[in-house]
Amino acid sequence: MSHVTKKWEVLPGRNKFCCDGRVMMARQVGVFYFTVALIVVTCTLFFVFDCPFLSEEISPVIPVVAGVLFLFVMSTLLRTSFSDPGVIPRATAEEAADIERQIELPNGSTSPTYRPPPRTKEVVVRGQTVKLKYCFTCKIFRPPRASHCSLCDNCVDRFDHHCPWVGNCVGRRNYRYFYMFIMSLAFLCVFIFSCIITHLVLLSRRNGFLDAVKDSPASVIEGVVCFFSVWSILGLAGFHTYLTTSNQTTNEDIKGSFSSRRGQDIFNPYSRGSFMCNCVAMICGPEPPSLLDRRGIAVPDGQVSLRGNYGSLKSSQQKVTKYKGQFRKLIV
């Protein structure tokens, strides 16, 4: 029986796929493994060495709260890391040739000089002019807010940043899970750190601080890890809360895409008008379907015909078709 080639096996870019294309990550996952190990080891030490004492001395609710937070942190982390962030399919050979013909219009045989064809297009979003840049790698005009990730070598819709800590890009399809991950991780880190301090204080009242450290050295290790981690995690959570409430991406904030320049009246056309509406749209809005049919059958010539077969769920074909039409309006 001949091997059937799936599309994920021949997709361009630098992504790594597992479980027959169901899991999609970046190739550099060493930092991601370190993130998982740091969370799991710290929480394991807390459950083994701190929770029994705190449960008996204070309340049995403490290990329950810690367990719920730990499960939520791990689920959002894995959901962020193992999903398609919103990769935009590259143009087929026919589409690339058609786009080249459109942008390489002849200047006229009598023209004394040659002007290179423009590699940008302009669209108007809520009265604000937005430039669509041409991607020389993917051979497409990127939709608004999309950008090309140099590490994964893919254009990502609503590209926020490439996060080595989660081993994936953060984009339209997994940003909400990334935001919930860093927020829940901040709560978990503060909760564990507070419980560790409480544990050591209670032990110190009985036998002194040095004896408390000797009795529970694991608590000291956990406390050091949480102390040096909590500041960066809280800062990151605060920064992304600001981005969420203003409906911006990290990429747009760093570039200053919506900051006033030279007296121009520039505003964010994607803002919903209030921080509450922005939060609801970013976190609770409908999740767009994947534009990659990763588990579909590849065409015989080895090239992936992605434009004609969007989405990975047959049951949501109508939703996929609607999103496909919106996507085409953006790139045309």
For residue 297, list its beta bridge partners.
6
- Specify the long-range contacts of residues 178-183, CB closer than 8 Å, at least 24 apart: 178/76, 178/80, 178/240, 179/240, 179/244, 179/282, 179/283, 180/72, 180/76, 180/283, 181/73, 181/76, 181/77, 181/80, 182/233, 182/236, 182/237, 182/240, 183/237, 183/240, 183/241
Q: Is 163 a catalytic residue?
A: yes
* Residue pair 178/163 in contact by the 8 Å Cβ criterion: yes
From the list 155, 163, 189, 195, the catalytic residue is 163
CA dist., res. 5 & res. 17, Å (int)? 14
Q: Are 309 and 98 in contact (CB under 8 A)?
A: no
In the numeric block, which tokens belong to residue 93? 């050979």
CA 282 to chain centroid: 12
CA end-to-end distance (rounded Å), the chain: 42
Catalytic residues: 163
